[in-house]
Structure 1
Amino acid sequence: MKALKFLVAFVIVAILMFSFWIYRSLHSPHAHNKNKQYIQIPHGSSPGQILIKLTSEGIISSEIPLKVYLKITGTGNKMQAGEYLFNSPITPLEVLGELNKGKLRTVKFTVPEGFTRFDIAKRITEQFPQNQPTGENGVLNLMDDVSLIKDIAPKAKNLEGYMYPNTYEFPRSVTTQAIIDKMVAEFKKVWKPEYTARALKLNMTPHQVITIASLIETESRLDTERPVIASVIYNRLKKGMPLGIDQTAVYIAKMENRWDGVINRSDLESDSPYNTRKVVGLPPGPISSISESSIKAALHPASTNYIYYVLNVEKNDKSHKFYATATAFERGKAAYQAWLQKERR
């Protein structure tokens, strides 16, 4: 009888001591040397596998306290895959709290206004090289899939102009398709149904308006000036004049993989349908990503009789001077060229 009482007492003491050890272990900060390193918890990891991973990395000293805690509370399924930075020292319960939040290590991905699909493809391969085994050409091939914009531009040949310029955050493991899908989705948030209705009032398709917006985007950095740039484009279209926008020559060079940072005479003499110096009317499609400011300017051009413009050398704000006659334009152009030669000396 005494032996049984002793055994029961021993078991109770052992349980109490074990419980105290579990409690103390769960609340005691543990120091480790991985506080500046991301610890990756892969998708599909079981609670046991996660605890083994944390122990092997030194984030916790023993998996037993958390294993017991998860068994009692039944909260093991709350732990999420992700990439984690754990402070040091840190208690096991604090570790569990982080795992319950779920964290993905993200990369900021910025597409500036005016970027072409070629620029975007290059940036994707630079920032996510491990995810792009086919390189820039593979990315560009994905941009030829226009199924995402059939409702807006059924005749578009690629996604140029339909990938919205913005700063995005993606997990490091993001796929190229997911990046493209996100940028197109962002564009479709910006392109409102009333924009389509307004385009029809201008006797334009949405694709034509988006093409004009891309021309505006490449020609002016000033929101206040863009409706005036738009008026020049529309006035030239009405008069049957070539638009003469040299940025289309840049686009041609990028399409042909020969852009070297300088517009050459051969670029301006190209027979490409994108060459707005030679071809009357709009190019076949947009030549850059576009901001909502340029979209609004294309939909609501200023009412002017301007058909020319040149950089305003009297100001250092990237603005332009506008002209209604060739004579006035030639004087402005001469002043600009004289200034340009002086700057190059």
Structure 2
Amino acid sequence: MYLKKILWATAIIGLIVAAFFAYYVYKVLLKPNTAFNNEAAYVYIPSDATYEDVRKQLEPLLDDIASFDILAQKKQYISHIKAGKYAIKRGMSNNDIINSIRIHNLPVTVSFNNQGTLEKLAGRISKEIEADSISLLNAMQDDAFLAEHNFNQATALGMYLPNSYEFFWNTSAIKFRNRMLKEYQRFWTEDRIQKAHNLGLSPNQVITLASIVYEESKKPIEQPRIAGVYLNRLRIGMPLQADPTIKFAAYQLPEYKNTVIKRVLNVHKEIDSPYNTYTNLGLPPGLIAMPDLRAIDAVLNYEKHKFLYFVADASRLGYHKFAKTLTQHNKYASEYHRYLSSQGINR
């Protein structure tokens, strides 16, 4: 009888211990442990993060950080931190969370356009991935890299084709730059390279001309015609006489910093700069803006015509009037200048 009591007591104690252990395992391993109401929360773990850095991000998101610490120690996550962007979904257990932040690095979408300089582009990209703007700019301006791939400081911006791309958040500056080179090389298909060759232009020169076309007009329907005008001028040895290049040259000078030139005047056309296409023949040394892909293709698929001149159309703002003769052009130009004067735009 006494032995039976001992056996029963032992069994009961065993059941209590087993139940406690099961609850402990459930609490540490399987119990939902999120403290937010949204469907998901995101953590961004830097490349040099320690467990304490990760813990600080997780603590506001979890009901019980202590139980997470225990499992993180058991699963050796503490010494194997993985950089990246990770999702923690509402209702996840500690085990789910550790599995997520260990292996499910999420891509981020990086989009850019209208970045007129490498400095602006680096600043824009640094808001989307881990790499900071200084490391990005240093990678973009690396002379050895540029020379190896037929770029220079004036043409380097042309390697970055505006679009949307997927990257891991913890992408380094070097990896970002190298990926963009691959995207550039992918864009320049044999067909596009042949079309550039037929124009007597290199890919860099095509993008330089596209930057001028893009600054002249954001209307895709007009861009091939404008490209045709500039290509006609190049063929006959006529200066491009592109007002956007004059503005670009002016903005490099201290007296024009933080100003907006709404009307190109004769004084602007006298600026001493290789980007002054009134005083220099041919294309400028490099881009004056970041053209979109349509502007690049507008150059490669330019409209064949005999126009040599164009000017903004005062009756249809955003569009242009095209002329084959200087006499006709001067008439259109006078109309537009009268419009500018009527709007009080004198500089």
| TM-score bin, normalised by smaller chain | 0.7 to 0.9
Give the C-alpha shift of residue 309 in structure 1: 0.3
What does residue 248 of structure 2 align with? 251
Equivalent AA in structure 2 for residue 334 of structure 1: S
What TM-score do the two structures reach when normalised by structure 2?
0.75
Equivalent AA in structure 2 for residue 303 of structure 1: K
CA RMSD, Structure 1 to Structure 2 (Å): 4.3
Q: Deviations over 1:295-333 (max 9, x none)?
A: 2222222121100001122224x1111000011111101
Equivalent AA in structure 2 for residue 95 of structure 1: I
216, 219, 235: which one pairs with 2:216? 219
Matched residue SS, 1:235: helix
Contact 1:217/1:291 (<8 A) preserved: yes
Q: How does 1:1-345 map to 2 (within 5 A)?
A: 2=3, 5=7, 6-7=9-10, 10-11=13-14, 13-23=16-26, 26-30=29-33, 32=35, 39=43, 41=45, 43=47, 59-61=62-64, 63-64=66-67, 80-84=82-86, 86=88, 90-96=92-98, 98-100=100-102, 102-103=104-105, 108-112=110-114, 115-117=116-118, 119-121=120-122, 123=124, 131-132=132-133, 139=137, 142-143=140-141, 145=143, 147=145, 150-151=148-149, 153=150, 158-168=155-165, 175-256=172-253, 258-259=256-257, 260-262=259-261, 266-316=267-317, 318-344=318-344
Contact 1:34/1:86 (<8 A) preserved: no
What TM-score do the two structures reach when normalised by structure 1?
0.76
Contact 2:123/2:133 (<8 A) preserved: no
Equivalent AA in structure 2 for residue 261 of structure 1: V
1:17–1:207 distance in 2 versus 1, CA, 3 Å: closer
Matched residue SS, 1:321: strand
Structure 1 unpaired stretches of 5+? none
1:121–1:43 distance in 2 versus 1, CA, 3 Å: closer
Q: Deviations over 1:243-272 (max 9, x none)?
A: 110111222234446442225655421222
Question: Hey, what's the Cα distance between the residues in 2 that align with 1:88 and 1:339?
Answer: 60
Contact 1:30/1:90 (<8 A) preserved: yes
Identity of aligned residues (%): 24
Give the C-alpha shift of residue 131 in structure 1: 2.3
Equivalent AA in structure 1 for residue 112 of structure 2: T
Equivalent AA in structure 1 for residue 197 of structure 2: L
Question: Hey, what's the Cα distance between the residues in 2 that align with 1:261 and 1:129?
Answer: 34
Contact 1:145/1:158 (<8 A) preserved: no
Q: Deviations over 1:185-213 (max 9, x none)?
A: 33332221222222222333333222222
1:328–1:41 distance in 2 versus 1, CA, 3 Å: closer
Contact 2:239/2:278 (<8 A) preserved: yes
Q: Deviations over 1:31-85 (max 9, x none)?
A: 6379797555555879x879976885561526558856996xx796998444556
Q: What number of residue pairs does the alignment pair up?
A: 336
Give the C-alpha shift of residue 240 in structure 1: 1.7
Contact 2:131/2:171 (<8 A) preserved: no
Matched residue SS, 1:344: coil
Contact 1:80/1:99 (<8 A) preserved: yes
Give the C-alpha shift of residue 155 in structure 1: 7.0
Contact 2:84/2:170 (<8 A) preserved: no
Question: Hey, what's the Cα distance between the residues in 1 that align with 2:31 and 2:219?
Answer: 58
Matched residue SS, 2:310: strand
1:41–1:241 distance in 2 versus 1, CA, 3 Å: closer
